[in-house]
Amino acid sequence: MSTAVALDECQPGLSVDLAEAVKHQHLSARTIHTYQHWITQYLAYYDLRSPRYLSESNVKEFLRYLVKNMSLSRARLNQAREALLFLYEKVLKKPLK
């Protein structure tokens, strides 16, 4: 399943909203790819539920899961965290604390 399909399956138009937010932030192609990856992983973790129905506690749970089960480096964990912050702040306009 492609990233765009996964995003739109959980919330119609989310891939377009993400593309618009990325355009306004002038992110590099590599950063865009990384953000799409982590956002898709997050949504897949919650069975493609709309991120509008997921809360800050869900983000924390996902990040804890990554630490415990995925053995990520600190840099990769920070990438995941930044991608989710971007999703909530810039795309959904629902900033996390």
What is the residue-wise DSSP string for 22-75?
HHHHT--HHHHHHHHHHHHHHHHHTTT--GGG--HHHHHHHHHHHHHHH---HH
The residue segments making up the domain with residue 29 are 3-91
Specify if 96 maps to a domain.
no
pTM across the whole model: 0.91
- pLDDT score of 1: 64
Condensed to tens digits (0 to 9), the pLDDT of residues 35-91 reads 999 999 999 999 999 999 999 999 999 999 999 999 889 999 999 999 999 999 999
- Domain membership of residue 50 (yes or no) is yes
Query: Is 97 inside a domain boundary?
Result: no
CATH for 71: 1.10.150.130
pLDDT higher than threshold 90 for residue 34: yes
Query: How many domains are there within the chain?
Result: 1
pLDDT tens digits, residue range 17-32? 998 998 889 889 999 9
Task: Please report whether residue 29 resides in a domain.
Answer: yes
